[in-house]
Amino acid sequence: MDQPSWMQDGATGGAPAAPAAASTRPAAAVDSGGSTGAIVRNGFHFVNIGLCVLMAFSAVLGVIEITNAQVVDFFLGVYLFFFAVLLFSYEVLRWVPNANLDEMMRRNFGWFYGNMGRGFYLIFVGFLNFGLHGTVPLATGIVCLGWGALCIAVGFYKPEWFAVEKST
For the stretch 44-74, pLDDT in tens is 889 999 999 999 999 998 888 776 767 888 8
Cβ neighbours of residue 119 closer than 8 Å, sequence gap 6 or more? 148, 149, 150, 151, 152, 155
pTM of the model: 0.72
Range of weakest confidence among 17-21, 133-137, 142-146: 17-21
Cα angle 104-109-112, degrees, rounded to a multiple of 5: 115
Q: What pLDDT is stored for residue 66 in this prediction?
A: 74
pLDDT tens for 92-141 read 888 888 888 888 888 888 888 888 888 999 999 999 999 888 889 999 99
